[in-house]
Amino acid sequence: MKHYNELKHAFDHFLDDPSQPSPHASDVAHLLKKVRKKDKEEFHAYLTRIPNDILGDILLELPEKIKDEAIAFLPSEELADAVDNLDSDDAADLINDIDDVDEDKSEAVFAQLDEENQEDIDKLRGYSEDQAGAWMQTELFEATLDETIQHSIDRLKELKRQDELTNIHQVFIVNEHQRLIATVSLEDLILYDFTQTYRNVVTNKEFRYVEATDNIEDVASIFEQYDLSVLPVLDYQGRLVGRITSDDIYDVIEERATDQIYNLAGVNDDVEQEEDFFGVFKNRAIWLSINLATAILASIVIGMFDATLAAFVPLAILMPIVASMGGNAGTQTLTVMVRQMALGDIDLEHSKEVLKKEVLIALLNGLLFAVIMGIIAYLWFDISKLGIVIALAMIINLFIAGFFGAAIPLVLKRLNIDPAIGSTVILTTATDVFGFLSFLGLASMILM
Amino acid at 131: Q
**Is 185 in contact with 169 (CB distance < 8 Å)?**
yes
Give per-residue burial for 189-198: e unless 16+ CB within 10 Å, then b: beeeeeeebb
The confidence score (pLDDT) of residue 266 equals 60
First vs last Cα of the chain: how many Å apart? 64
Q: Are strands 170-174 and 230-234 parallel, antiparallel or unpaired?
A: unpaired
For the chain, which residues make up each domain, given as ranges? 4-126, 142-253, 266-446
The confidence score (pLDDT) of residue 393 equals 93
Give per-residue burial for 12-49: e unless 16+ CB within 10 Å, then b: eebeeeeeeebbebebbbbbbeebbeeeeeebeebbee
The confidence score (pLDDT) of residue 267 equals 59
Domain 142-253 - what CATH class?
alpha beta
Residue-level pLDDT, tens digit, the chain, 448 residues: 456 778 788 888 888 887 787 788 989 999 999 899 888 999 999 999 999 889 999 999 998 889 999 999 999 999 999 999 999 999 999 999 999 999 999 999 999 999 999 999 999 999 999 999 999 999 999 999 999 999 999 999 999 998 888 888 899 999 988 999 999 999 889 899 999 999 998 877 788 999 999 999 899 989 988 889 999 999 999 999 999 999 889 888 887 777 767 666 665 555 555 556 676 777 777 777 877 888 888 889 888 988 888 888 889 899 889 888 988 998 889 888 887 887 677 777 777 888 899 999 999 999 999 999 999 999 999 899 999 999 999 999 999 999 999 998 888 888 887 777 778 888 888 888 888 899 899 988 988 7
The confidence score (pLDDT) of residue 152 equals 94
Q: Which of the listed CATH numbers 1.10.357.20, 3.40.50.360, 1.20.1090.10, 2.40.50.100 matches domain 266-446?
A: 1.10.357.20
Rounded to whole angstroms, the Cα distance separating 437 from 336 reads 27
Rounded to whole angstroms, the Cα distance separating 435 from 179 reads 62
The confidence score (pLDDT) of residue 174 equals 93
The CATH architecture annotation of domain 4-126 reads Alpha Horseshoe (1.25)
The confidence score (pLDDT) of residue 269 equals 56
Q: What is the pTM of this model?
A: 0.71
- On the CB side of 311, how many CA atoms lie within 13 Å of its CA? 11
The Cα-based distances of 295 to 309, 315, 426 in angstroms read 18, 19, 11
Rounded to whole angstroms, the Cα distance separating 62 from 35 reads 12
Rounded to whole angstroms, the Cα distance separating 243 from 169 reads 10
The confidence score (pLDDT) of residue 1 equals 47
Distinct helix (H) and strand (E) counts, the chain: 21, 6
The confidence score (pLDDT) of residue 268 equals 58
Rounded to whole angstroms, the Cα distance separating 11 from 14 reads 5
